[in-house]
Amino acid sequence: MGEEFYAIYPKDKWKDPSYKLMDKFSLKGKKGFVTGGGGGIGRNTAAAWAEAGADVALVDIPASKERLEPLAKEMSQRYGVKVVPVYCDVSDKAQVDAMRETLVRELGTVDIAHINAGVCLMGDDVDVPYETWKKTIDIDLSGAYLTAQAAQQIMREHGHGGSIIMTSSLSGYNANFIGGGPSPVCAYGTAKAGISQMARYMAAGLAPHGIRVNTISPGYIWSGIHEGVMDKTGHDMCLEVVPIKRFGTNDELQGVMLFLASDASSYVTGINIPVDGGYSIY
C-alpha cells in the first residue's frame, strides 16, 4: 500500500528521545472555564487545570462574589497563571451570552470547559413540586446546554479543537439506593440523565471539529454541604453499597478531570467515567 499510508500511524513513540508521555498531561497555554467554579468539585477542577498550566475562568452566580474573587486571586498567585472570576446564572441565556463574550475578552479563547453547575433541591421525590422540578431542570440541564453550546461555538469559531467535560451523576442512570430505597432526587436524576445523553450527541456531532465531549459521574463525594447536616447514621446508610466504604473527596476527581482535559485522552470521546468508589459495580 506504500510507505506513505503506513506512516500516518507512527509506531512506538516512546522510542523517540524527545517524546515524553507526561507532556501529554500538560495544559500549558490552554484556556478554560469551569461553571459552578466556587463549589467543591468546580474549584478542584480549576486548581488541577491551573497547576497543569492553563488560564482558567471560575464561573458562578453573582451571589458568590465574596468567595469567588479571593479564590481566583489565591489560585492565580499559587500557580502563576491567569485565574479570573466570571459571574453568570447559567439558566439565563442572556447571562450566558454575556459570559461567552467575557471569556473571549479575558482569555482569548476556550480550549477546555467543565460544565459543572447544578443544584439538588429538597422535596425532589416522585411528588416533586413543579417549581422544584422547573428550577432543577433550568439550572442543571438547560444550564448545561447553554454553557456547553457557548464552549463548542467558541472552539469552532476559533478554528481549533477542544475538550468539554460535563458533570453527570450516578443518579442519571440509577435510582440511588439509600437506607432500603431510592434517594429523593427525581428531577435531579432526570436532569443528569439528560446531560449524559446530550454529551453523547455532542460528542458525535463535534468529533469532525476535533472537539471531544465526555462526562464524569461522581458518587458520594464529601463536600461542605455534608458538614453539620449528615450524621453517622446517614453517612453509613449511603455507604451500604459502596465497596470502598467511604465517601470520596473533591481532590480525588482532579486526576480524571486533568486526563479528560488533556491530550492524554486524545482518543477518548462520548464516554462516562464513574468516580464512585465502586458503587456502580452492583
Q: Which residues are identified as catalytic?
A: 169, 188, 192
Q: Which of 59, 161, 63 is nearest to 114 (CA)?
A: 59
Which residues in 120-136 are b (16+ Cβ under 10 Å) and which e?
bbeebeeebeeebbeeb
Other Cβ atoms closer than 10 A to 22: 7
Question: Does residue 246 contact residue 220 with C-beta atoms inside 8 Å?
Answer: no
Cell numbers linked to 263: 491530550
